[in-house]
């Protein structure tokens, strides 16, 4: 028998329970680009799992999944268990069992009378479990903020946080799933796009009823409800379940005080400044200066991960530039990074200390990330020196 690392798809633990036999399971994700190249997949809420088979060490990159057994684990518990698997990969917290998550969630609130058998967790209990695990729950209530919800999902997933989604179907039945990746297409109407959340066309989720890496469409219909459609069946040939998104719960390090919604507010204020500058420059320009599209790509990253991103990206950042950036941004454990792009200036990053607050943000630096003439770098330099009061690390 030949064992190939290249063709290893993952593993599954089979439990001796006839109703819910699927235990801890990690499966290989889809490829980053489909055959037709029409969109990209980002599976950033994953980690590497190492197994041994027949004396051969194998590894698979994914996120752990399992079925709920109702006795100690309902859908919310299972979704939290998967999400905290990813959190434990970045922070020194113990990987908890579903029993421990249920006990932590229900230690202060028992609406059903007893923690086990579990009848499910409400949003408050889910937050209690995340807090008790050693990280902090960042909760966003969707209500009418549907486009902002899509932005938060995109930013959280690309930052490597596995968000738990609290959803509800047409009959009012609640459910919880965890997102492991997203599907992103190009911008079709650039005049209306200022945040990259508009490019999100779908998610990939773990649903304890249906399986791991489930394809899920995302759209906002006429009734203005953020809808998720789960494909039941292979290759999109099955039925579609429609669910309304109610809450997004992101487990994060407790010292990250800037939420994704806070960073969006900062980016929106930058948008106002940029458009004002464009208006002033356009009045004296000899030729029309295009205004759109202005893009904001928002992440929360470990400081060393941000430096790695600059090194790995093909953007003309040299070793001396990396050293200067490291001297400015290294003190913060987590960085909020707003990458700004537009047609009349070169791309730059606004780097913020994530331990600050929305009322008193601590801007660390503005970093140009493209090799471009000095004239195209004036926007970043002006914002750094005149607006944000931070160094422009050229």
With beta carbons less than 8 A apart as the criterion, state whether 41 and 31 touch. Answer: yes
The pTM of this model reads 0.86
pLDDT score for 97: 83
- In this structure, the answer to whether residues 342 and 237 fall within a common structural domain is no
CA atoms within 13 A on the CB side of 152: 25
List, for residues 8-27, the tens digit of each pLDDT value.
Answer: 889 899 988 887 888 889 99
pLDDT (tens digit, 9 = 90+) per residue, 350-381? 999 998 889 999 999 998 887 766 667 888 89
Question: What local confidence, expressed as pLDDT, does residue 310 receive?
Answer: 82
Check residue 178 and give its pLDDT: 94
Q: Please say which residue of 228, 252, 276 terminates a domain.
A: 252
Q: Does residue 98 share a domain with residue 30?
A: yes
- Identify whether residues 107 and 169 lie together within a single domain: yes
User: Number of structural domains, the chain?
Assistant: 2
CATH number of the structural domain spanning residue 131: 3.90.70.10
The most distant pair of C-alpha atoms in the chain lies apart, rounded to whole Å, by: 76
Domain edge (last residue) among 235, 252, 269: 252
Whole-number pLDDT of residue 1: 45
Judge whether 234 lies within some domain: yes
Give domain status of residue 4, yes or no.
no
Residue 117: per-residue pLDDT: 46
Q: Report pLDDT digits (tens) over 62-101.
A: 999 988 776 445 788 899 999 999 988 888 887 788 888 8
Is 26 part of any domain? yes
Query: 278 or 224, which is more confident?
Result: 278
Burial (CB < 10 A; 0-12, 13-18, 19+), residue 256, is buried
177 and 248 in one domain? yes
Q: What is the pLDDT of residue 123?
A: 87
Together in a domain, 187 and 128: yes
Which of 192, 221, 252 is the last residue before a domain boundary?
252
Give pLDDT tens digits for 125-139: 889 889 888 899 999
Q: What is the mean pLDDT of residues 269-296?
A: 81
Question: Which residue range forms the structural domain that includes residue 366?
Answer: 260-388
pLDDT of residue 98: 83
Q: Quick one: DSSP state of residue 65?
A: B
Same-domain status, 234 and 283: no
Within a domain: 83? yes
Residue 102 has pLDDT above 90, yes or no: no
Do 222 and 368 reside in the same domain of the chain? no
The per-residue pLDDT of the chain, averaged, comes to 82
Q: Is the same domain home to 292 and 171?
A: no
Within a domain: 52: yes
| Residue 5, in any domain of the structure | no
Angle at the Cα of 97 (from 93 to 100), degrees rounded to 5?
A: 85
User: What pLDDT was estimated at residue 281?
Assistant: 78
Angstrom CA distances, 159 to 162, 245, 261, 385, stand at 9, 21, 14, 28
Q: Are residues 282 and 179 part of one domain? A: no
- The mean pLDDT of 281-295, rounded to a whole number, is 77
| Per-residue confidence band for 160, with pLDDT thresholds at 50, 70 and 90 | very high
Is 3 part of any domain? no
Judge if 193 and 292 occupy the same domain.
no
More confident residue, 311 or 64: 64
Tens digits of residue pLDDT in 329-348 = 766 789 999 999 888 888 89
Note the pLDDT tens digit of each residue in 29-46.
Answer: 888 777 666 778 889 999
- Judged against a pLDDT cut of 80, whether residue 224 lies above it is answered with no
Question: pLDDT value at position 377?
Answer: 84
Directed axis angle between helix 98-105 and helix 75-90, to 10°?
Answer: 110
Residues 106 and 199 in one domain: yes
Indicate whether 214 and 301 sit together in one domain: no
Residue 2 lies in a domain: no
């Amino acid at each position: 028998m030949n064992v190939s690392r290249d063709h290893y798809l993952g593993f599954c633990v089979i439990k001796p329970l006839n109703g819910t036999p699927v235990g801890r399971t990690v499966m290989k994700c889809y490829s980053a680009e489909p055959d037709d190249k029409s969109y990209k997949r980002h599976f950033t809420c994953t980690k590497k799992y190492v197994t041994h088979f027949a004396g051969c060490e194998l590894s698979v990159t994914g996120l752990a999944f399992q079925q709920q057994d109702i006795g100690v684990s309902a859908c919310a518990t299972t979704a939290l268990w998967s999400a905290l698997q990813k959190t434990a990969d970045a922070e020194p917290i113990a990987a908890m069992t579903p029993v421990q998550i249920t006990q932590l969630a229900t230690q202060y609130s028992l609406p059903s009378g007893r923690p086990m058998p579990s009848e499910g967790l409400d949003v408050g209990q889910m937050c209690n479990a995340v807090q008790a695990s050693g990280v902090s729950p960042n909760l966003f209530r969707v209500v009418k903020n549907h486009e902002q919800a899509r932005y938060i999902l995109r930013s959280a997933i690309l930052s490597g946080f596995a968000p738990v989604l609290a959803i509800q179907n047409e009959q009012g039945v609640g459910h919880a799933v965890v997102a492991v990746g997203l599907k992103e297409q190009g911008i079709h109407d650039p005049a209306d796009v200022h945040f990259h959340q508009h490019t999100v066309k779908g998610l990939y989720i773990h649903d304890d009823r249906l399986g791991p890496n489930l394809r899920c469409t995302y759209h906002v219909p006429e009734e203005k409800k953020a809808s998720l459609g789960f494909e039941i069946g292979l290759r999109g040939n099955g039925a579609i379940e429609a669910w309304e998104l109610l809450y997004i719960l992101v487990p994060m390090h407790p010292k990250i005080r800037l939420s994704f919604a806070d960073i969006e507010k900062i980016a929106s204020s930058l948008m106002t400044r940029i458009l004002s500058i464009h208006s002033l420059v356009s009045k004296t320009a000899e030729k029309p200066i295009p205004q759109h599209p202005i893009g904001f790509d928002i992440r929360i990253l470990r400081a060393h991960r941000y430096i790695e991103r600059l090194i790995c990206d093909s953007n003309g950042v040299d070793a001396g530039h990396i050293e200067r950036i490291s001297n400015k941004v290294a003190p913060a454990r987590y960085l909020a990074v707003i990458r700004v792009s537009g047609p009349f200036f070169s791309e730059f990053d606004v780097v913020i200390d994530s331990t600050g607050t929305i009322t008193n943000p601590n801007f660390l630096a503005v970093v140009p990330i493209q090799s471009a003439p000095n004239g195209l770098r004036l926007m970043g330099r002006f914002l750094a020196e005149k607006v944000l009061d931070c160094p422009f690390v050229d």
